[in-house]
Structure 1
Amino acid sequence: MITIFKTNINEEQESRVRQFLNLFKEILKVDFDFEDSDNILRIETVGDIATHVEVVLNSNGYFCKELI
């Protein structure tokens, strides 16, 4: 499953955010698109964990919202 999020994450914050995402064993792959105006976060997972990703990132001071 591939899920796409709009974020406020920038290149300087990427490594810190990846540390949070490494907590999810369901995540297979993480990609960022900083050239997009929405600072896209794209994750490939083995299940639907979009809400959990949003909660973790938002509670740590980042904006993260799934694009549907």
Structure 2
Amino acid sequence: MIWVFKTSVQSQKEVKNLTAFLDSMIGKGNWNFDLEDCDKILRLVSSNRETINSIIEHFNANNIEIIELE
């Protein structure tokens, strides 16, 4: 399943800071940011809702906006 989120991530530096965390949570190649999009889209590929919830919690704990899109 592909999960799509609007985020407040603005730069490649912020993406780089999240890379190790996202790779460990969901696996390299199973996530990507589209910083060109006005909503700074994050796409995650996972069938595990608990993992997605953990990622959302991590973003929130680090004051990074993350809102699931339909």
Fold shared per TM-score above 0.5? yes
Q: Which residue of 1 aligns with 2:32?
A: 31
Counting only pairs closer than 5 Å after superposition, residues 1-68 of structure 1 correspond to structure 2 as 1-10=1-10, 11-24=12-25, 27-28=26-27, 29-48=30-49, 49-68=51-70
1:58 counterpart letter in structure 2: N
The answer for unaligned runs of 5 or more in structure 1 is none
Q: What secondary structure does 1:35 align onto? A: coil
Q: Which runs of 5+ in 2 are unaligned?
A: none
Q: Percent identity?
A: 30
Greater strand share, 1 or 2?
1
User: What is the RMSD of the two structures over their aligned residues, measured on CA atoms?
Assistant: 1.5
Alpha carbons of 1:50 and 1:66: their partners in 2 closer, same or farther (altered >3 Å)?
Answer: farther
The Cα of 1:22 is off from its aligned counterpart by 2.5
Structure 1: which 4+ aligned runs deviate by more than 3 Å?
Answer: none
Whole-Å separation in 1 of the counterparts to 2:46 and 2:18: 16
TM-score (norm 1): 0.81
Query: So what's the TM-score if we normalise by structure 2?
Result: 0.79
